[in-house]
Amino acid sequence: MGRLRYFFFVVDVGFVLYWLVTYLHLVPASFLFKDYGNPLMVTWNWSFLPLDLGISATGFTALWRERRGQPWRGAALISLTLTFCSGLQAVAFFALNRDFDPLWWGPNLFLLLYPLAFVRPLLRATA
């Protein structure tokens, strides 16, 4: 698993913390994305909850299975694929909405791009 374990840990813990902070309304208003007061935007943001928690669940599962010496690559590939999709959806939305805020684009571009470094080696290892 190598470096991937660190990415999984940071991303998976990050998603859980993000949703906890969001649920508790701890994000300062100056950091919220454009039109966050619009109920439709809030609903759009919360629509990512199942996807993001699925990413964390599969990432933690891959970490747990690897630590126990069990097959982990399938869970890792699912987690990376879902992570890519989460980043893509957010970036596409912000682009279509013509909303460029580096505070939101940065993390979502990271989620879109980092899985690409690991998918091919994992696929080769499972072939």
Write down the pTM of the prediction: 0.91
Q: What are phi and psi of 3, to 5 degrees?
A: -65, -25
The helix or strand, by DSSP H or E, that contains position 124, with its residue range, turns out to be helix 116-126
pLDDT of residue 127 exceeding 70: no
Percent share of the chain, pLDDT over 90: 77
Any idea where the domains of the chain sit in the sequence?
4-126
Looking at residue 114, its amino acid is Y
C-alpha triplet 32, 14, 108: angle, nearest 5°: 55
Residues 6+ apart with CB under 8 A from 60: 8, 12
The tens digit of pLDDT for each residue in 42-74 reads: 899 999 999 999 999 999 999 999 999 999 999
Question: Which of 33-37, 46-50, 91-95, 101-105 has the weakest average pLDDT?
Answer: 33-37
* Cβ proximity of 81 and 59 under 8 Å: no
